[in-house]
A = this chain, B = another copy of it.
Amino acid sequence: MPRFSKNIANLRSSEIRDLMSLATDPNMISFAGGMPGNELFPIKLVDNIYNSLTEREKQAAMQYGPTTGLPTLLESLSDYLESKGLPVRNNRLIITTGSLQAIHILAKAFIDPGDPVLVETPSFIGALSTFRACEAELVTVPLHSDGMDISILQNRLDCNSPSPKFLYYVPNFHNPAGIIYTPEVKLQMVNLLRGKEIPIIEDDAYSDLYFYEEDLPKMRLIKEMDPEGIDVCFTGSFSKILGPGLRLGWMLVPDSIYRKCELIKQSLDACSPSLSQVIADKFIREGYIHTYITEVREEYKKRGLAMIETLESCLPEYVSFEKPRGGFYTWLKLPEGCDATDVLRKAIEKGVVFVTGKTFDPDGACNDHMRVSFCNTDIETIHRGIPLIAEAIRELYG
């Protein structure tokens, strides 16, 4: 038997993985996945892009590129992010192999085994898994409908010694909780962390998928505020606005952090896929990104509204949820004492799956929530599947 490292003892297979195999069963209705529906990918636009590539560009697509990204994509993405209000000029951009790699690189840059890091509960499972792989101690701050609990954050900062290495959070259309942080909470976070040498990792994978333009001012990122006295590491992704199969994300970080992250990325995979980068670059340059995002935003809104309507009409009144205003997820709260895994088992019997709450709990314990996605099911399937989940709940809890 080989002698494995101790540092991987923390890694565990998540329920999500097992669900994924169910989710691809064509007889199963899946509200489990966090991926776009296959039918929504911009296949025609990518065809246009591929067919417009010169021989030279195709060669570049097959070749190694610089560790931090192809210069042409760094340029077009910089312009794109700047047009959205991000402080591109006094920060540096790295293209990563999905935004999970960006989070992983930042985790490696800051975490030594045993180091505490601040995370929301519930939190994005991919980030938790990468922090665990770095042997971080996960210090949790509960999430409410306006963002993280500020008095508990304050308490964690006061009590925790050594002080946390960073704070990781998802500002908009939270995965799994679906919420938008209010400007007040973000401002209080900044005020609490300023001058404390605790960077913020701001993971913004969903912002483009808002239902209501009126929410935009509220959704302003901490990175956009560009606050003094605090390092903000902003991460983003092409997964929701082009396709996760390209495996492309990015980080926008201060120069001192950039230099460490570049070295770490070099030891991980040398560079991100050039073929994907060439396509993403053209996707931005040709302006396809705007037309495509507008299109999917409309579609996700239709699905989200259908989800809200169906949930409202068929859930027992003791199950509550925050109405999503964008993104991919609804987050249902069962009454105290109920167990989402019991509901899941019953739901599977009825041919439908979702993800249980404890999957997103850094402590793996709290299980009175259910994440029900609306990204990967059309309206008709929502109408068909949600009543089955409601039925499963009623059979268990009346």
Contacts and interface: CB of A to CB of B under 8 A. Distances in A.
Contact of A43 (B59, B165, B272, B274): B59
Nearest to A5: B112
Given A273-B246, A275-B246, A59 B46 contact: no
A172 interface: no
A366 interface: no
Given A2-B199, A275-B276, A8 B109 contact: yes
A288 interface: no
Max chain B Cβ within 10 angstroms of own Cβ: one of A108, A110, A247? A247
A13 B259 CA distance: 9
A108 B134 CA distance: 10
B245 A63 contact: yes
A3 interface: yes
A260 B4 CA distance: 8
Contact of A126 (B6, B133, B270): B270
A35 interface: yes
Interface string A250-272: 00000011001001101111111
Contacts of A4: 109-110, 260
A335 interface: no
A203 B29 CA distance: 43
Given A11-B264, A126-B270, A41 B63 contact: yes
Given A60-B245, A246-B62, A276-B275, A104 B267 contact: yes
Contacts of A242: 62
B269 A97 contact: yes
Interface in A17-48: 17, 20, 35-36, 38-39, 41, 43, 46-47
A58 interface: yes
A310 interface: no
Given A245-B63, A263-B13, A5 B108 contact: yes
A355 to B, nearest CB: 15
Contacts of A46: 58, 62
A7 interface: yes
Max chain B Cβ within 10 angstroms of own Cβ: one of A59, A113, A165? A59
Given A4-B109, A8-B109, A59 B35 contact: no
B130 A244 contact: no
Interface string A53-95: 0010011111111110000000000000000000000000000
A130 to B, nearest CB: 5
A64 B245 contact: yes
Please provide the 3 A-B residue pairs with the shortest distance between their CB atoms, ordered closest to farther: A245-B274, A62-B243, A41-B62
5 contacts: A4-B260, A60-B245, A65-B245, A97-B273, A245-B274
Interface of A: 1-8, 11-13, 17, 20, 35-36, 38-39, 41, 43, 46-47, 50, 55, 58-67, 97-98, 100-101, 104, 108-113, 115, 126, 129-130, 132-134, 165-166, 197, 199, 231, 239, 242-247, 256-257, 260, 263-264, 266-276, 279
Given A41-B58, A43-B59, 5 more contacts: A41-B59, A101-B268, A246-B274, A275-B279, A276-B276
